[in-house]
Amino acid sequence: MMPSIHAIQNGAKVRGVYFGAPFTGTVTSHRPHTMNRKIELFWITLDAPIDVLGLVRNDIHTAASDDRAALIHYHGGMDDSSLEAV
């Protein structure tokens, strides 16, 4: 069983997929979603820039949850993102 997404703390090394682009990086900040505590919001500084829809990103803000259904609902029925501790 994977550790809870809520166990990821500031400074943690993470990897995942953001809008279809794989990444690795470091969590610079995180907090629970204001209205849905199943979802955690993360700000991540990337180890290397990624191309997202034609824009080069050096850092990202993303949501993650242990409850996949909550995350898909949060993203309006679409979810191609993932996040896990390295």
What are phi and psi for residue 33, nearest 5 degrees? -60, 145
CA dihedral 11, 27, 33, 56 (to 10 degrees): 170
User: pLDDT by residue (tens digit) across 29-41?
Assistant: 999 988 888 889 9
Residues 72 and 86: their CA atoms lie apart, in Å, by 23
Q: Give the mean pLDDT of 58-64.
A: 92
Residues 73, 33, 82, 5, Cα dihedral to 10°: -120
Amino acid at 10: N
Residue 8, strand partner residues: none
**Span 7-24, pLDDT tens digits:** 999 999 999 999 889 999
Do the beta carbons of residue 23 and residue 17 sit within 8 Å? yes
- pLDDT surpasses 90 at 4: no
